[in-house]
Amino acid sequence: MEERLILISNDDGISSKGIDTLIRIAQPYGKVVVVAPVSVQSGKSHSVSLTRPIRFEKQYDSERLEKYVLNGTPVDCVKSALTKILPRKPDLMLSGINHGSNSAISVIYSGTMGAAIEASFYGIPSVGLSIVTHDLDADFSVVEKTAPALIEKVLEHGMPEMVSLNVNYPVCELDDFKGFKVCSQTKSYWYEDFEETIDKNGNPAYYQRGHLVNVEPDNDNCDENALAENYASIVPIKVDFTDYKMIDELKKWNL
Protein backbone atom coordinates (compact mmCIF):
# COMPACT_ATOMS: atom_id res chain seq x y z
CA MET A 1 0.00 0.00 0.00
CA GLU A 2 1.14 3.54 -0.74
CA GLU A 3 2.34 5.43 2.32
CA ARG A 4 0.00 8.13 3.61
CA LEU A 5 0.81 11.67 2.59
CA ILE A 6 0.16 14.39 5.18
CA LEU A 7 0.20 18.11 4.43
CA ILE A 8 0.94 20.56 7.26
CA SER A 9 0.67 24.34 7.28
CA ASN A 10 -0.03 27.14 9.79
CA ASP A 11 -0.31 30.91 10.15
CA ASP A 12 2.43 31.45 12.75
CA GLY A 13 5.20 30.77 10.25
CA ILE A 14 7.67 28.01 9.51
CA SER A 15 9.74 28.72 12.66
CA SER A 16 6.97 28.45 15.26
CA LYS A 17 7.07 25.98 18.11
CA GLY A 18 3.52 24.94 17.31
CA ILE A 19 4.31 23.65 13.83
CA ASP A 20 7.34 21.75 15.10
CA THR A 21 5.09 20.02 17.63
CA LEU A 22 2.51 19.20 14.96
CA ILE A 23 5.20 17.66 12.75
CA ARG A 24 6.20 15.31 15.59
CA ILE A 25 2.56 14.37 16.16
CA ALA A 26 1.97 13.64 12.47
CA GLN A 27 5.13 11.76 11.51
CA PRO A 28 4.06 8.33 12.81
CA TYR A 29 1.10 8.41 10.40
CA GLY A 30 2.86 8.92 7.09
CA LYS A 31 5.19 11.09 5.04
CA VAL A 32 4.86 14.72 6.12
CA VAL A 33 5.18 17.66 3.74
CA VAL A 34 5.19 21.08 5.40
CA VAL A 35 4.35 24.18 3.37
CA ALA A 36 4.25 27.16 5.70
CA PRO A 37 4.57 30.96 5.52
CA VAL A 38 7.95 32.58 5.98
CA SER A 39 6.44 35.01 8.51
CA VAL A 40 3.44 35.35 10.82
CA GLN A 41 0.12 35.50 8.95
CA SER A 42 -2.31 35.70 11.88
CA GLY A 43 -5.74 37.11 11.04
CA LYS A 44 -5.33 36.48 7.30
CA SER A 45 -8.42 34.24 7.24
CA HIS A 46 -8.92 32.99 3.66
CA SER A 47 -6.89 35.69 1.94
CA VAL A 48 -4.81 34.90 -1.14
CA SER A 49 -2.02 36.74 -2.93
CA LEU A 50 -3.27 38.10 -6.24
CA THR A 51 -1.05 41.12 -6.94
CA ARG A 52 2.39 39.72 -6.15
CA PRO A 53 4.20 36.56 -7.25
CA ILE A 54 4.32 33.58 -4.88
CA ARG A 55 7.71 32.04 -4.25
CA PHE A 56 8.61 28.96 -2.25
CA GLU A 57 11.77 27.04 -1.57
CA LYS A 58 12.62 23.70 -0.01
CA GLN A 59 14.09 24.14 3.44
CA TYR A 60 14.53 20.50 4.46
CA ASP A 61 14.35 17.14 2.69
CA SER A 62 14.49 13.62 4.07
CA GLU A 63 12.76 10.35 3.23
CA ARG A 64 9.70 11.02 5.41
CA LEU A 65 9.75 14.80 5.91
CA GLU A 66 9.94 17.74 3.53
CA LYS A 67 9.68 21.40 4.50
CA TYR A 68 8.92 24.30 2.19
CA VAL A 69 8.78 27.98 3.12
CA LEU A 70 6.50 30.28 1.15
CA ASN A 71 6.17 34.09 0.94
CA GLY A 72 2.39 34.20 1.21
CA THR A 73 -0.70 33.40 3.25
CA PRO A 74 -1.76 30.06 4.72
CA VAL A 75 -4.25 29.57 1.88
CA ASP A 76 -1.47 30.36 -0.62
CA CYS A 77 0.48 27.56 1.06
CA VAL A 78 -2.30 25.02 0.58
CA LYS A 79 -3.01 26.05 -3.02
CA SER A 80 0.69 25.90 -3.90
CA ALA A 81 1.08 22.54 -2.17
CA LEU A 82 -1.82 20.99 -4.05
CA THR A 83 -0.84 22.34 -7.48
CA LYS A 84 2.95 22.73 -7.46
CA ILE A 85 4.58 20.75 -4.67
CA LEU A 86 2.80 17.52 -3.73
CA PRO A 87 2.92 14.50 -6.06
CA ARG A 88 -0.75 13.73 -5.34
CA LYS A 89 -3.67 14.76 -3.18
CA PRO A 90 -2.76 14.27 0.51
CA ASP A 91 -4.61 11.84 2.75
CA LEU A 92 -4.76 14.36 5.59
CA MET A 93 -4.20 18.06 6.13
CA LEU A 94 -3.24 19.47 9.55
CA SER A 95 -2.96 23.17 10.33
CA GLY A 96 -1.35 24.68 13.43
CA ILE A 97 -0.71 24.25 16.21
CA ASN A 98 -1.79 27.87 16.49
CA HIS A 99 -0.50 30.06 19.31
CA GLY A 100 -3.84 31.56 20.37
CA SER A 101 -7.44 30.42 20.41
CA ASN A 102 -9.51 30.12 17.24
CA SER A 103 -12.74 29.32 19.05
CA ALA A 104 -16.06 31.14 18.69
CA ILE A 105 -16.22 33.91 16.04
CA SER A 106 -12.39 33.96 15.86
CA VAL A 107 -12.64 31.06 13.42
CA ILE A 108 -13.59 33.44 10.59
CA TYR A 109 -10.45 35.56 11.09
CA SER A 110 -8.08 32.62 11.49
CA GLY A 111 -5.36 31.90 8.96
CA THR A 112 -4.88 28.54 10.66
CA MET A 113 -8.47 27.59 9.90
CA GLY A 114 -8.27 29.25 6.49
CA ALA A 115 -5.67 26.64 5.50
CA ALA A 116 -7.71 23.74 6.90
CA ILE A 117 -10.92 24.97 5.26
CA GLU A 118 -9.17 25.43 1.91
CA ALA A 119 -7.95 21.82 1.95
CA SER A 120 -11.46 20.58 2.82
CA PHE A 121 -12.76 22.00 -0.49
CA TYR A 122 -10.84 19.23 -2.26
CA GLY A 123 -12.15 16.37 -0.17
CA ILE A 124 -9.08 16.23 2.06
CA PRO A 125 -9.81 15.40 5.73
CA SER A 126 -8.58 18.56 7.45
CA VAL A 127 -8.05 19.61 11.05
CA GLY A 128 -6.98 22.97 12.50
CA LEU A 129 -5.47 22.85 15.98
CA SER A 130 -4.96 25.77 18.37
CA ILE A 131 -4.17 26.41 22.03
CA VAL A 132 -5.55 29.31 24.06
CA THR A 133 -2.26 31.10 24.71
CA HIS A 134 -0.18 33.40 22.52
CA ASP A 135 3.02 32.47 24.38
CA LEU A 136 5.70 31.79 21.77
CA ASP A 137 7.10 29.12 24.08
CA ALA A 138 3.69 27.57 24.84
CA ASP A 139 3.53 24.16 26.50
CA PHE A 140 2.05 21.80 23.91
CA SER A 141 2.56 18.63 25.95
CA VAL A 142 -1.19 18.01 26.44
CA VAL A 143 -1.77 18.41 22.70
CA GLU A 144 1.15 16.12 21.88
CA LYS A 145 -0.16 13.39 24.19
CA THR A 146 -3.82 13.52 23.16
CA ALA A 147 -4.05 14.73 19.54
CA PRO A 148 -2.86 11.38 18.08
CA ALA A 149 -6.13 9.76 19.20
CA LEU A 150 -8.08 12.38 17.25
CA ILE A 151 -5.89 12.02 14.16
CA GLU A 152 -6.38 8.25 14.21
CA LYS A 153 -10.17 8.70 14.29
CA VAL A 154 -10.05 11.16 11.38
CA LEU A 155 -7.95 8.72 9.35
CA GLU A 156 -10.31 5.87 10.24
CA HIS A 157 -13.60 7.61 9.53
CA GLY A 158 -12.66 10.34 7.07
CA MET A 159 -14.55 13.62 6.73
CA PRO A 160 -17.35 14.83 4.46
CA GLU A 161 -16.25 17.04 1.59
CA MET A 162 -16.05 20.73 2.55
CA VAL A 163 -16.08 19.96 6.28
CA SER A 164 -13.08 20.52 8.56
CA LEU A 165 -12.54 20.33 12.30
CA ASN A 166 -11.72 23.36 14.43
CA VAL A 167 -9.97 21.98 17.53
CA ASN A 168 -8.98 24.26 20.41
CA TYR A 169 -7.06 23.24 23.51
CA PRO A 170 -7.13 24.81 26.97
CA VAL A 171 -3.97 25.58 28.89
CA CYS A 172 -3.83 23.05 31.72
CA GLU A 173 -1.88 20.13 33.14
CA LEU A 174 -2.57 16.68 31.73
CA ASP A 175 -4.16 15.59 35.03
CA ASP A 176 -6.66 18.47 34.72
CA PHE A 177 -7.46 17.85 31.06
CA LYS A 178 -10.99 16.46 30.67
CA GLY A 179 -10.69 15.20 27.12
CA PHE A 180 -12.43 16.17 23.88
CA LYS A 181 -15.88 17.72 23.67
CA VAL A 182 -17.82 18.05 20.42
CA CYS A 183 -19.36 21.53 20.46
CA SER A 184 -21.09 24.24 18.55
CA GLN A 185 -19.36 27.52 17.72
CA THR A 186 -20.03 30.05 20.48
CA LYS A 187 -22.26 32.96 19.48
CA SER A 188 -19.94 35.89 20.04
CA TYR A 189 -18.34 39.02 18.67
CA TRP A 190 -15.19 41.02 19.21
CA TYR A 191 -15.53 44.30 21.11
CA GLU A 192 -12.97 46.52 19.44
CA ASP A 193 -10.74 49.00 21.21
CA PHE A 194 -8.06 50.95 19.34
CA GLU A 195 -4.82 51.89 21.07
CA GLU A 196 -3.67 55.27 19.81
CA THR A 197 -0.02 55.98 19.14
CA ILE A 198 1.92 58.62 17.22
CA ASP A 199 3.85 57.56 14.13
CA LYS A 200 7.30 58.82 13.13
CA ASN A 201 5.71 61.74 11.27
CA GLY A 202 3.74 62.88 14.30
CA ASN A 203 0.41 61.59 13.01
CA PRO A 204 -2.08 59.50 15.00
CA ALA A 205 -1.88 55.74 14.36
CA TYR A 206 -3.89 52.95 15.93
CA TYR A 207 -3.29 49.37 17.00
CA GLN A 208 -6.42 47.25 16.94
CA ARG A 209 -7.13 45.68 20.32
CA GLY A 210 -10.25 44.16 21.82
CA HIS A 211 -11.80 41.25 23.67
CA LEU A 212 -14.21 38.47 22.80
CA VAL A 213 -17.79 38.84 24.04
CA ASN A 214 -19.53 35.50 24.69
CA VAL A 215 -23.29 36.06 24.22
CA GLU A 216 -24.27 32.59 25.44
CA PRO A 217 -22.33 32.11 28.69
CA ASP A 218 -24.78 29.47 29.97
CA ASN A 219 -24.53 27.19 26.93
CA ASP A 220 -22.56 24.14 28.06
CA ASN A 221 -22.36 22.85 24.50
CA CYS A 222 -20.41 25.71 22.91
CA ASP A 223 -16.66 25.82 22.46
CA GLU A 224 -15.79 28.81 24.66
CA ASN A 225 -17.46 27.24 27.68
CA ALA A 226 -15.93 23.82 27.00
CA LEU A 227 -12.47 25.39 26.98
CA ALA A 228 -13.19 27.13 30.29
CA GLU A 229 -13.85 23.69 31.78
CA ASN A 230 -10.53 22.28 30.46
CA TYR A 231 -11.99 20.35 27.54
CA ALA A 232 -10.50 20.49 24.06
CA SER A 233 -13.36 21.70 21.90
CA ILE A 234 -14.09 20.14 18.50
CA VAL A 235 -16.34 22.12 16.16
CA PRO A 236 -17.11 20.77 12.68
CA ILE A 237 -16.88 23.67 10.21
CA LYS A 238 -18.75 23.79 6.92
CA VAL A 239 -18.39 26.78 4.64
CA ASP A 240 -21.80 27.58 3.24
CA PHE A 241 -22.90 31.14 3.97
CA THR A 242 -26.42 30.59 2.65
CA ASP A 243 -29.23 31.40 5.08
CA TYR A 244 -31.72 28.83 3.80
CA LYS A 245 -34.61 30.16 5.87
CA MET A 246 -34.08 33.60 4.39
CA ILE A 247 -34.42 32.19 0.87
CA ASP A 248 -38.12 31.55 1.45
CA GLU A 249 -38.54 34.98 3.02
CA LEU A 250 -36.85 36.73 0.11
CA LYS A 251 -39.10 34.93 -2.36
CA LYS A 252 -42.06 36.57 -0.65
CA TRP A 253 -40.66 39.99 -1.57
CA ASN A 254 -41.69 39.39 -5.18
CA LEU A 255 -38.56 40.99 -6.54
pLDDT at site 72: 96
How high is the mean pLDDT of the chain?
Answer: 95
Give the pLDDT band of residue 149 (cuts 50, 70, 90): very high
Count of other CB atoms within 10 angstroms of residue 156: 7
Give the pLDDT band of residue 153 (cuts 50, 70, 90): very high
The structural domains of the chain, ordered by start, are 5-186+218-251 (3.40.1210.10)
Q: Report the candidate in 86, 155, 149 with the shortest Cα–Cα distance to residue 126.
A: 155
3-class secondary-structure state, position 165? strand
pLDDT at site 76: 97
Contact 54, 83 (CB under 8 A): no
Q: What is the mean pLDDT of residues 209-222?
A: 88
CA dist 69 and 36 (Å) reads: 5
Residue 82, pLDDT > 90, answer yes
Range with lowest mean pLDDT among 33-42, 49-58, 123-132, 215-224: 215-224
Please give the model's pTM, rounded to 2 decimal places. Answer: 0.93
pLDDT at site 212: 85
Looking at per-residue pLDDT, the higher value among 219 and 81 belongs to: 81
Range with lowest mean pLDDT among 26-30, 42-46, 143-147, 168-172: 42-46
Give the pLDDT band of residue 227 (cuts 50, 70, 90): very high
Residues 6+ apart with CB under 8 A from 242: none
Question: What residues pair up with 213 in beta bridges, in sequence order?
Answer: 189
Looking at per-residue pLDDT, the higher value among 232 and 189 belongs to: 232
Q: What is the mean pLDDT of residues 181-191?
A: 93
pLDDT at site 67: 98
Give the pLDDT band of residue 193 (cuts 50, 70, 90): confident
Contact 33, 3 (CB under 8 A): no
Residue 14, pLDDT > 90, answer yes
Residue 159, pLDDT > 90, answer yes
pLDDT at site 255: 87
Give the pLDDT band of residue 194 (cuts 50, 70, 90): confident
Residue 1, pLDDT > 80, answer no
Q: What is the pLDDT of residues 234-252, one digit of tens each?
A: 999 998 999 999 999 999 9
pLDDT at site 209: 85
Residues 6+ apart with CB under 8 A from 156: none
The secondary element (H helix, E strand) that includes residue 247 is helix 244-251
Share of the chain above pLDDT 70, in %: 100
For 103, what's the count of Cα atoms within 13 Å in the CB-facing half-sphere?
A: 31
Looking at per-residue pLDDT, the higher value among 189 and 81 belongs to: 81
